[in-house]
């Protein structure tokens, strides 16, 4: 750039450009960003100080900025849940960026806001006025409003309310069409405005000292696991901006800027590897391979809960910073992860099993640090094709009684880790049935299908035996179990009470008195039956004693 050449080939064609090029290439002591030498009391220029402003006023620069914003939008906005501010250096640049975003035909709602005063009759004033009129027309059409230049203050207030989800837009997060995705500004909204729904600030301008702190504060309100921190991306003189950010944080944090800046992606990924290694060691020391089940000891389960909670904090932060499962090359270099996504989902399944894993509100007596957000991780995406291929390989080697058969069976058992504990139980029963010759495998039928069949048969048997033992209507019980209720909605519309009304109290009394070997008053039978039936439903069934 300093030699005013597009590439090295162009540099070598000019003695003047070569002189500039090698002057900087051969002087490793020249910093990228300038700084104040306090001992000498003078400013030392950095390479970025030699870059003209015109370098950032080119269409090529704006194209790359917009490209970067759009490519990272889904990640940084958490799928469009959060909004962003984009601050430019001038009103003309804000207009140019607005038009550039429009030309990309994205599905994003892009809005611009800046000083509307038209204070002269020159060509620039006309361009500005025309741009404001176009932006207002776009806004009116997009959001069914009718703002004009004369009602510009109301237009600004409406933008503010949408970004903050305040009246009349309190539940706007439920309607993507009413949301603003990116607001382009120059100076507006960078001070004073506050919304937890803003999580990203894009900067194509230089800020200093107090302005940095005020602008960055627009993103600093945390909002659940999806927003572990605000994100700032700056595109103009990045090394200079980083140095000024460090200076501003030092000044305004009492010279103790610790914990203000989020860890960089490299450090987050290293921490994820360390935590996974700790989790792996925990399971191995408990005698468990491939994370197939939870450790038996409560202390070990509690430790796993703590480690997995912490792992996910770094994972959420890393995703925002660009981490993708399977990706190894990043801007800082290569990073090999110690686990893949399938292993992570298996761990998530074990985590759910810490409290039963059936969904709904967490029981009050769970003895672990359980995060309700993590219990909602979709583990249904675990690759079951791998298990099916191991199953098919084992079938081909069945009854060969050689080392290959033993190895194939071992691989198949390892794949069971992707199943719940209950599913693993039926998978093992199914394999034993095959080995004994009690079942003939149908061509094209997957192992998952067999496991599901075994589960359904077992549940049917459990419901039948339970109904006979306590005298409840079996059809009513089956219909109720199909609702898959949880603790909070079990008696919605009085449906659990209706199920209890089908109980034959005399049969129930016989069951409990035989079990406890004593006479029990009928009024206590109702209480015991309520507790037993509730437990049976919420656990999805079990073998009655």
Condensed to tens digits (0 to 9), the pLDDT of residues 240-251 reads: 778 877 776 666
Q: Determine the distance from the C-alpha atom of residue 49 to the mean position of all C-alpha atoms in its chain, rounded to a whole number.
A: 39
Structural domain ending residue among the three candidates 381, 412, 437: 381
Q: Does the pLDDT at position 363 exceed 80?
A: no
Instruction: Flag whether 460 is in a domain.
Output: no
For residues 66 and 100, give the distance between their C-alpha atoms in angstroms, rounded to a whole number.
Answer: 8
Q: Determine the distance from the C-alpha atom of residue 189 to the mean position of all C-alpha atoms in its chain, rounded to a whole number.
A: 27
Residue 278's H or E segment, with its range, is helix 265-285
Are 221 and 125 found together in one domain?
yes
Q: In whole angstroms, how far apart are CA 156 and each of 81, 186, 338, 342, 379? A: 21, 14, 49, 47, 43
Per-position DSSP letters for 279-328, written without gaps between them: HHHHHHHTT-STT-S--SSHHHHHHHHHHHHHHHHHHHHHHHTT--TT--
For residues 190 and 203, give the distance between their C-alpha atoms in angstroms, rounded to a whole number.
Answer: 11
Question: Which tokens in the block code for residue 255?
Answer: 């010279």
Are 169 and 188 found together in one domain?
yes
Instruction: Flag whether 260 is in a domain.
Output: no
Segment 430-443 shows an average pLDDT of 89
Q: Would you say 366 and 355 are in contact if contact means Cβ atoms under 8 Å apart? A: yes
Q: Does the pLDDT at position 112 exceed 90?
A: yes
SS3 189: coil
Instruction: Flag whether 3 is in a domain.
Output: no
Are 87 and 232 found together in one domain?
yes
Q: What local confidence, expressed as pLDDT, does residue 281 receive?
A: 95
Parent domain of 25: 8-50
Instruction: Flag whether 451 is in a domain.
Output: no
Instruction: Flag whether 83 is in a domain.
Output: yes
Instruction: Flag whether 198 is in a domain.
Output: yes
For 483-535, the three-class secondary structure string (H helix, E strand, C coil) is: CCCCCCCCCHHHHHHHHHCCCCHHHHHHHHHHHHCCCCCHHHHHHHHHHHHHH
Number of domains composing the chain: 4
In total, the chain counts a number of residues equal to 545
Q: Does the pLDDT at position 342 exceed 80?
A: yes
Compute the Cα dihedral for 155, 156, 160, 161 and give only its sign. negative
All residues at 6 or more sequence positions from 25 whose CB lies less than 8 Å from its CB, including other chains:
none
Identify the CA nearest to 148 among candidates 136, 139, 157, 159: 136
For residues 208 and 244, give the distance between their C-alpha atoms in angstroms, rounded to a whole number.
Answer: 6
DSSP 428: H
Q: Would you say 299 and 237 are in contact if contact means Cβ atoms under 8 Å apart? A: no
Segment 21-50 shows an average pLDDT of 68
Structural domain ending residue among the three candidates 215, 236, 257: 236
CB neighbourhood size of 508 (10 A): 22
Condensed to tens digits (0 to 9), the pLDDT of residues 466-498 reads: 999 999 999 999 999 988 888 888 999 999 999
Are 182 and 79 found together in one domain?
yes
Q: Determine the distance from the C-alpha atom of residue 480 to the mean position of all C-alpha atoms in its chain, rounded to a whole number.
A: 34
Are 231 and 324 found together in one domain?
no
Q: What share of the chain is helix, strand, coil (3-state, %, to 5)?
A: 55, 5, 40
Burial 172-197 (b: 16+ CB within 10 A, else e): beeeeebbbbbbbbbebbbeebebbb
Q: Is 237 left (phi over 0), alpha (psi -120 to 50) or beta?
A: left
Confidence of residue 264 (pLDDT cuts 50, 70, 90): confident
Q: Does the pLDDT at position 110 exceed 90?
A: yes
Q: Which single residue is written with the structure tokens 């140019």? A: 96
Q: What local confidence, expressed as pLDDT, does residue 79 receive?
A: 85
Are 213 and 64 found together in one domain?
yes
CATH number of the domain within which 227 lies: 3.40.50.300
Q: What local confidence, expressed as pLDDT, does residue 251 receive?
A: 63
Q: Is 417 left (phi over 0), alpha (psi -120 to 50) or beta?
A: alpha
Q: Does the pLDDT at position 463 exceed 60?
A: yes
Are 14 and 88 found together in one domain?
no
State the chain's mean pLDDT as an integer: 83
Are 45 and 62 found together in one domain?
no
Q: What local confidence, expressed as pLDDT, does residue 121 receive?
A: 57
Instruction: Flag whether 507 is in a domain.
Output: yes
Q: Would you say 278 and 307 are in contact if contact means Cβ atoms under 8 Å apart? A: yes
For residues 532 and 471, give the distance between their C-alpha atoms in angstroms, rounded to a whole number.
Answer: 13
Are 109 and 219 found together in one domain?
yes
Segment 3-17 shows an average pLDDT of 57
Q: Which single residue is written with the structure tokens 């049935």? A: 433
This prediction's pTM = 0.56
Are 356 and 279 found together in one domain?
yes
Instruction: Flag whether 156 is in a domain.
Output: yes
Are 312 and 223 found together in one domain?
no
Are 35 and 64 found together in one domain?
no
Cβ burial of 351 (10 Å; 0-12, 13-18, 19+) is buried
């Amino acid at each position: 750039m300093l030699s005013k050449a597009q590439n090295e080939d162009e540099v070598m064609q000019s003695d003047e450009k070569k002189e500039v090029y090698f002057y900087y290439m051969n002087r490793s002591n020249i910093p990228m960003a300038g700084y104040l030498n306090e001992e000498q009391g003078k400013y030392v220029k950095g390479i970025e100080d030699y870059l003209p402003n015109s370098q950032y006023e080119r269409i090529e620069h704006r194209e790359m900025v917009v490209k970067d914003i759009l490519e990272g939008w889904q990640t940084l906005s958490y799928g469009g849940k959060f909004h962003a501010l984009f601050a430019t250096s001038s009103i003309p640049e804000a207009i140019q960026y607005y038009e550039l975003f429009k030309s990309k035909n994205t599905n994003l709602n892009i809005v611009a806001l800046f000083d509307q005063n038209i204070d002269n009759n020159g060509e620039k004033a006309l361009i500005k006025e025309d741009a404001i009129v176009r932006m207002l027309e776009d806004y009116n059409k997009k959001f069914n409003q009718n703002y004009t230049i004369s009602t510009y203050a109301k237009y600004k207030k409406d933008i503010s309310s949408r970004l903050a989800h305040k009246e009349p837009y309190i539940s706007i997060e439920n309607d993507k069409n009413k949301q603003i995705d990116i607001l382009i500004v120059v100076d507006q909204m960078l001070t004073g405005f506050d919304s937890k729904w803003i999580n990203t600030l894009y900067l194509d301008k230089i800020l200093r000292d107090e302005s940095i702190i005020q602008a960055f504060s627009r993103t600093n309100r945390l909002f659940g696991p999806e927003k572990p921190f605000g994100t700032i991306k700056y595109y103009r003189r990045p090394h200079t901006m980083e140095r000024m950010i460090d200076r501003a944080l030092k000044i305004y944090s009492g010279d103790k800027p610790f914990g203000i800046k989020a860890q960089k992606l490299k450090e987050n990924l290293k921490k994820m590897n360390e935590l996974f290694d700790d989790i792996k060691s925990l399971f191995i020391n408990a005698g468990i391979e491939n994370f197939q089940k939870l450790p038996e000891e409560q202390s070990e389960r509690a430790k796993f809960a703590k480690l997995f909670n912490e792992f996910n904090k770094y994972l959420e932060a890393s995703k925002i910073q660009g981490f993708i499962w399977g990706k190894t090359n990043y801007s800082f270099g290569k990073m090999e992860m110690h686990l893949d996504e399938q292993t992570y989902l298996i761990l998530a399944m074990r985590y759910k099993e810490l409290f039963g894993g059936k969904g709904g509100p967490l029981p009050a007596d769970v003895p672990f640090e359980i995060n309700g957000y993590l219990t909602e991780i979709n583990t249904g995406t675990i690759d079951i094709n791998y298990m099916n291929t191991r199953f098919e390989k084992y079938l081909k080697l069945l009854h060969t009684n050689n080392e290959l058969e033993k190895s194939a069976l071992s691989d198949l058992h390892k794949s069971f880790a992707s199943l719940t504990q209950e599913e693993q139980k039926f998978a093992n029963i199914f394999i034993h049935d095959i080995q004994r010759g009690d079942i003939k495998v149908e061509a094209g039928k997957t192992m998952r299908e067999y496991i599901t069949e075994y589960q359904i048969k077992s549940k049917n048997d459990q419901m039948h035996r339970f109904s006979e033992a306590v005298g409840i209507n079996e059809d009513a019980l089956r219909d109720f179990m199909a609702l898959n209720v949880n603790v909070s909605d079990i008696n919605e519309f009085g449906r659990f009470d209706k199920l209890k009304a089908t109980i034959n109290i005399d049969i129930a009394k016989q069951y409990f008195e035989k079990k406890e070997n004593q006479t029990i008053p009928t009024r206590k039978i109702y209480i015991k039956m309520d507790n037993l039936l509730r437990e049976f439903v919420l656990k999805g069934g079990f073998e009655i004693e």
